[in-house]
Structure 1
């Protein structure tokens, strides 16, 4: 689900949350909680300390909650790395009958790092389902769940810090009045690569988006729409021309789906895009830190967030 904490990097890709700009503070989407986040601890290096802190915060022993600090996805050794232009050809071939079709709304599972100013960070797993109705109203359901640990208690964010809830606990269920906005990302995305590039540029309000910005705009798009076959093919064709986005090989995503991974590195962050190897549909996007930041307790390879989109 789209996380409560906003996770997109600023244009300078500074991985230190306390020093980067964030869209959270002026995110126009309803239901978003507006709060400042920062990183202070390493998820990987502080697992033992984290367990102690959470025991103090949450109290009691009981069933161990699903401490959702995902490891970075690992590319299968010696696997074939399919170039994006080749995957674009496969996606275009798969889209000839136009099925599946574009659908407004989204279904996404996320693991996102968040904390307040006075508590250690935790990774919060959430599932979000948004469905639109014929009268242009929509509903949003947010559930605390970690599919890696079915049935185990899950950590979520409360007013007084992290708290433990049952797997599948509904965090919010909202219905929003009709909306007829015709601006991206509310407007339907085109299925022509050149037009889609303009659409994504307008989504993030920039004239000539960088590769990092294209990936962030793609995330914004997928938070509003479930792409059809033609839109997925156009997106892969567009990304095939994105500088620096290189094939890495085969991965298995956090929902157990096989995918082709494509990696884009900047000074402080690595984005790994996971695509369906047959249709080019976006399966996931992972953001990790490339370099250690001892001041903030960040280790190279720590996962800031991961989104897995579903139909």
Structure 2
């Protein structure tokens, strides 16, 4: 059996869940199956080797898949607040897909130009808002809005000792003005937050292929059915920002990631988003950084002490597009929890 197939059996399908509460990190496997939880995607790994996924925001479903792995009883809990948009459908065939024979990757946090005592981000974000230029899609024609994203952290398996495994996924989306179109999704190989986790799961998974899974294509409603608002007050509301919002900088940062994952954001709105962020308390300027696709950008962070994570946004320093959003464990040792790379934006005449 291919390694990618075994990984898919272990992790099961993802579910696009958002805006729910942060659950207890561990439960017995039978408790996960016996209840309907509306806060996370969970996967129970039992001492007998059963994998029991419980999918949320759908009718209760228990699926038992037998595998020849013996691990201590544990449950995988993926908090919904960590997730950006998870539109399903497969991805492209290029160098970002894992090549045959590739090593399983350990993720390291993005290095900040200003790691210590960073200044408030407001003045630098205002300056960026004043000087951004057109993006390639700003003056382009085409029926479909196109996004290509790579993400990690939406589905996690937790082994004994807290050893985390999650697979990366690439998604291409073509969406017309009514939100209809096509997605193409490809599951890539697992990535790990620590070397210890990588070593544990490498010993558990069958050796062999390092190739990604086969792309899967689906059609239907894949995007928003309304254009993005250009009204400043309505945009601030969507970003959970401004007086009386009370959601905190972390919620605003996540909302920015969600908007860029769904829309081709025009230049005027990109500038407004930067201004809204500039007025949001709790954002810190991290200077020039390099994202996971090797692109140079400028970064801001927001600390969420309640969930012990730090949100990171990376922007293109020329046109203000969002390049990446990440969550990193706030306390030492710092570990990547979730990442979302927006690799391409554009317009096309046809889907696919």
Same fold (TM over 0.5): yes
Classify the secondary structure of the residue corresponding to 1:236.
Answer: helix
- CA 1:230 to 1:134, structure 2 compared with 1: closer, same or farther past 3 Å? closer
SS at match of 1:243: coil
Equivalent position to 2:14, from 4, 28, 35 = 4
Q: Check whether the contact 1:10–1:21 (CA below 8 A) recurs between aligned residues.
A: yes
Higher strand share: 2
TM-score (norm 2): 0.57
Name whichever of 242-251 and 105-114 sits farther off. Answer: 105-114
Q: CA deviation at 1:239?
A: 0.8
Deviation digits for residues 256-282 of structure 1, max 9, x if unmatched?
A: 110111111122111111111222211
Which residue of structure 2 lines up, in the alignment, with residue 296 of structure 1?
none
Q: Aligned runs of 1:16-165 on 2, under 5 Å?
A: 17-18=25-26, 22=39, 37-38=76-77, 64-76=101-113, 83-95=121-133, 100=138, 104-112=145-153, 114-116=155-157, 121-133=164-176, 136-145=179-188
Candidates 208, 211, 231, aligned match of 2:269: 231
1:141-180 per-residue CA deviation (whole Å, 9 max, x = no partner) reads: 111347x9xxxxxxxxxxxx8997654543421111x58x
Query: Could you tell which deviates more after superposition, 100-109 or 66-75?
Result: 100-109
The higher radius of gyration belongs to 2
Gaps of 5+ in 2: 1-12, 28-36, 42-54, 59-74, 79-99, 192-204, 346-352
In structure 2, the residue matched to 1:195 is 234
Corresponding residue to 1:219 among 237, 254, 257: 257
RMSD over aligned Cα atoms: 4.4
In structure 2, distance between residues paired with 1:7 and 1:67 = 27
Higher relative contact order structure (alpha carbons within 8 Å, sequence separation ≥ 6): 1
Cα distance in 1, alignment partners of residues 174 and 57 from structure 2: 20
What are the superposed Cα offsets for residues 91-120 of structure 1, whole Å, 9 maximum, x if unpaired? 344357996269745321112263347785
- Tell me which of 242, 245, 251 is aligned to 2:280: 242
**Matched length:** 252
Distance 1:23 1:218 in 2: 21
Change (3 A) 1:22 1:66: farther
Gaps of 5+ in 1: 29-35, 40-62, 149-160, 292-298
Q: Which moved more, 1:163-172 or 1:230-239?
A: 163-172
Aligned mates of 2:262, 2:256 — CA distance in 1: 10
Pairing 1:246-265 to 2, within 5 Å after superposition: 246-265=284-303
Residue 72 of structure 1 contacts residue 288 of structure 1 at CA under 8 Å; is this kept in 2? Answer: yes
Q: Is the 8 A contact 2:299 2:314 kept in 1?
A: yes
Secondary structure in structure 2 of the residue aligned to 1:121: strand
Distance in 1 between residues matched to 2:206 and 2:232, nearest whole Å: 42
Pair 276,81 (structure 1): closer, same or farther in 2 beyond 3 Å: farther
